[in-house]
Structure 1
């Protein structure tokens, strides 16, 4: 019998054993405490003591769920650094699976993935950076950044989530040019902020649907344990709150133990509700290898001294690294290494670098996303 597929039956057996043992333990304790004479405790007293024991025991259910569903499979991969891109997946897909946020759900992209998708469209020449003016050699002295959609490129081959971004940018097109400053300024208007929110949510939905339709999400990560632990958290918190209400209207001394136990159960339940899904859920063998490869690449690109010592061998490869480092939330190390390794005139002509550069469109879009997604 596969124990992982029969956890509910196992938990019922455990609860039955706990009830039986706790009842006999309390009975024996009372017998020994009074010189071998059993006191005529009423049924309610024993019931409250048993419920107290059950609530304490129930607090360990998340541990049982983790043991059955949260332990990761062993993989034969021990490489600390990846010097090449592990896969050719779009940066939004990599972000959705391996993004930097610890509380981000697997399969749900975030702001870094949105920015990296635009950078990827620039790198593949679907978007063109236009009219960036400088004052002298200082890279900080550039003016507004503008984008232009390359009408010579066939967008039918793009992923749906990439077309969502192009459709959004077209809405801000004036005489064929898209001003990033205009997008930022428009976020102060409710209509524009709502439109951006809808665009961002549609983009995230399409990224997730791409993973689901390709079967890669289920192939990489199993959520069953996280689902069970969240159900436990909700039910456990409800039981703990009911117990706290009940003990305030019951005069029996035994309810004190029930109250203490409900606090323990409530704490365990609250932690279960906010627990990141990576703890109770688990990677499959394929998913763990996928994540491990990209995590090793992330370790490489966020280490300035390492990427400086082993840099990419072309500007095009630098650009790819910067796109995927953005998707992984660690672009700073690559930017710093590019500034150290490449001449300023090369950097000023590099659309990917200039788009990512501080105080240019990525920060504009990040601020816009944060503003648009704030609760009303």
Structure 2
């Protein structure tokens, strides 16, 4: 498996983990199932406006006294209400509790005398207006409780000459409903119907339409019903009941479903579709040059070691500390630096004052400046003593040292990289940054906390943020993964890999049998640039070839990392719901 394919797989896996993590966050918020929730909510709407609700409450903690259900529309005892309202017919409560009602006017109705408590009416003052439920004077023990409510509803029907439209809001402020079953018995009189609920599944049993779904905490659960005529409720004339039905149902239901669908699908688009497509379009190589696994000569001596590091080690276009180490070894090989000593303890590196620096490129001159900076105190740089040297520097000197090292690691070489690799035609990093900022503005497009869209409205923030993170990961991948080697350059890249294989494999190096120490020094410089300098040093020691540059290759690498970390500036810090969008009904179940 090639390095490019390995990086591609790593990028896909990391992006996939980010996407699945984002989905998990939204779903955890949507369905956390806290200590108190409704395991089953069964509702049946029969002809004549008769409505039955059966709640299976799950109570997981002590300290509660009420299992209730409140409405946003006016709720009254049977025979008391006028206009658009709901009449409570009965409440069936578990043993040890008593049914009650607090109507739209605030009047308290004790619906059973089975529970005697002289403070009962005082307790019921805690109830909401338009609330019915069961009061447990002695508290509710953890467990499951079934409560059944029966009503007759008198909603306002929006009717034209042929049809009547009813928007029945079953819930918009409630504890989680783990499973919901809705039955519409009067289906023969229905022209059309839509449900605002999550993962709704429809089925028919005789003349009854049954819908199964679930409802996260404080999310809207609605029925949009288009009747062929009004068999109950109050009529209100409108120009077109069909148009009202289509407008309400399509906008609210489809937007909610779209948000949930986006939560499910969008986080998977980048890792499973976009990344493979980018690789196929822009990163897949069209050339297939044949290069042996091992190569026993430097493929291109026109390239300096730091340029080899830039192009052929890791991500094309990025440098690491091996580029600096290799340049020091190369400058010593070419006489611009002088290395004295044959062990870590007495190794010293100085700039050769007899050499003219005119022939050096900008990067090599930066390395000369680095060695001068590290040699200032003793007149020579001793890599073994780098940590103490940096500690003895003034703050200004440490900052200068850090800036020099940063310049060497971020040296601008786009022109050279551009000669070898064609980058993707779009800026993935730019898109990532744009999505990051867009994620803060998208929630403004809808009422973020509206029960109509909550909790899937959270995806307007979480999903763009996740996609931005996924694209950021893509932008960090080596440029050659989603770019392509230019004509003829892939062959050179494979040759450098073959040369690296030779230097890395001690068993293969003897086959080259270079007798000239100069060749070993050259291999050492390029091997260090490719990250296998230690293997070349080991091979030289096996042959008894002792040169200062070999010891320098090992000591310099350690010394440079020490200089970088010790000179880095330290950082310090100091600490110093609305309604459900309309409709008749609303409210929901709760435990108090």
- TM-score w.r.t. structure 1 length? 0.72
The answer as to 2:321 corresponding to 1:111 is yes
Aligned mate of 1:297, from 499, 513, 536: 499
CA gap of 1:374–1:224, structure 2 versus 1, over 3 A, is: farther
Aligned mate of 1:228, from 427, 435, 438: 427
Aligned mate of 1:270, from 466, 469, 473: 469
Is contact 2:386–2:562 with CA below 8 Å preserved after alignment?
Answer: no
Shift in Å, 1:52: 4.7
CA gap of 1:244–1:322, structure 2 versus 1, over 3 A, is: farther
Structure 2 stretches lacking a partner, 5+ long: 1-191, 210-224, 227-244, 572-592
In 2, the alpha carbon distance for the partners of 1:162 and 1:232 equals 35
Is contact 1:146–1:178 with CA below 8 Å preserved after alignment?
Answer: yes
In 2, the alpha carbon distance for the partners of 1:175 and 1:236 equals 52
Aligned mate of 1:337, from 515, 526, 539: 539
SS of alignment partner, residue 118 of structure 1: helix
Is contact 2:350–2:371 with CA below 8 Å preserved after alignment?
Answer: no
Per-residue CA deviation, residues 279-338 of structure 1 (Å, 9 max, x unaligned), is 333332344333222122112211122224444332211111111111111222212211
SS of alignment partner, residue 129 of structure 1: strand
Aligned mate of 2:560, from 362, 365, 369: 365
In 1, the alpha carbon distance for the partners of 2:275 and 2:435 equals 11
Shift in Å, 1:174: 6.1
Shift in Å, 1:235: 4.0
Bigger proportion of residues as strand? 2
In 1, the alpha carbon distance for the partners of 2:412 and 2:252 equals 52
The aligned runs of 1:1-376 (5 Å cut-off) are 33=202, 40=246, 41-53=249-261, 56=265, 59=270, 60-88=273-301, 89-100=303-314, 104=315, 106-130=316-340, 132=341, 143-171=345-373, 172-173=375-376, 177-181=380-384, 183-188=386-391, 189=393, 190-204=395-409, 207-209=411-413, 212=415, 216-225=416-425, 227-238=426-437, 249-252=449-452, 255=454, 266-275=465-474, 276-278=477-479, 279-340=481-542, 342-343=543-544, 346-347=545-546, 350-357=547-554, 360-373=555-568, 376=571
In 2, the alpha carbon distance for the partners of 1:371 and 1:82 equals 39
CA gap of 1:111–1:76, structure 2 versus 1, over 3 A, is: same
In 2, the alpha carbon distance for the partners of 1:33 and 1:46 equals 16
Report the number of matched residues. Answer: 324
SS of alignment partner, residue 308 of structure 2: helix
Query: Which stretch shifts more, 34-43 or 148-157?
Result: 34-43
Per-residue CA deviation, residues 218-261 of structure 1 (Å, 9 max, x unaligned), is 12122235x53333433445556666796861212x65556569
Is contact 1:123–1:351 with CA below 8 Å preserved after alignment?
Answer: no
In 1, the alpha carbon distance for the partners of 2:430 and 2:487 equals 26
Is contact 1:129–1:145 with CA below 8 Å preserved after alignment?
Answer: yes
CA gap of 1:170–1:77, structure 2 versus 1, over 3 A, is: same
Is contact 1:81–1:300 with CA below 8 Å preserved after alignment?
Answer: yes
- TM-score w.r.t. structure 2 length? 0.48
Larger radius of gyration: 2
Shift in Å, 1:115: 0.8
In 2, the alpha carbon distance for the partners of 1:239 and 1:175 equals 55
Is contact 1:161–1:204 with CA below 8 Å preserved after alignment?
Answer: no
In 2, the alpha carbon distance for the partners of 1:179 and 1:336 equals 22
Structure 1 stretches lacking a partner, 5+ long: 1-26, 134-138
Which protein has greater RCO, CA pairs closer than 8 Å, 6+ apart?
1
Bigger proportion of residues as helix? 1
Is contact 2:398–2:567 with CA below 8 Å preserved after alignment?
Answer: yes
